[in-house]
Amino acid sequence: MRLVTSLLYVSRMTLEPEEVAGGIAAIVEVARSRNADLGISGALVATDAHFAQILEGRRDAVFDVMASIERDRRHTEVTVVWTEDREQAFFSDWSMAYAGTAEYVDKKISPLLRGSLPEHERQGVISELLLLIQCFVREEE
Ligand SMILES: Cc1cc2nc3c(=O)[nH]c(=O)nc-3n(C[C@H](O)[C@H](O)[C@H](O)COP(=O)(O)O)c2cc1C
Structural contact between residues 136 and 104, judged by C-beta atoms closer than 8 angstroms: no
CB of 51 closer than 6 angstroms to any ligand 1 atom: yes
Rounded CA separation 90/110 (Å)? 23
pLDDT score at 2:
78
Q: All domains of the chain, ordered by start, with CATH?
A: 4-140 (3.30.70.100)
Q: Identify the CA nearest to 75 among candidates 13, 27, 128.
A: 13
pLDDT in tens, 18-28: 888 788 888 98
Output the CA–CA distances (angstroms, integers) from residue 92 to 41, 56, 96, 107, 109, in the order listed.
6, 8, 10, 27, 24
Q: Which portions of the chain are predicted below pLDDT 70?
A: 1, 97-104, 135-141
Q: Is the pTM of this model over 0.75?
A: yes
Residue nearest to atom 11 of ligand 1 (CA): 31
Q: Which atom of ligand 1 is nearest to the CA of 34?
A: 11
- The confidence score (pLDDT) of residue 47 equals 82
The whole-angstrom separation of Cα 135 and Cα 78 is 23
CB 132 within 8 A of CB 38: no
**Best mutation site among 16, 68, 133 for ligand 1, i.e. most ligand atoms within 8 A of its Cβ?**
68
Element (H, E) at 6: strand 4-13
Looking at the CA of residue 42, tell me the nearest atom of ligand 1: 8
Residue 85: which H helix or E strand, with range? strand 75-86
* Mutation test residue for ligand 1: of 27, 33, 78, the one with most atoms within 8 Å of CB: 27
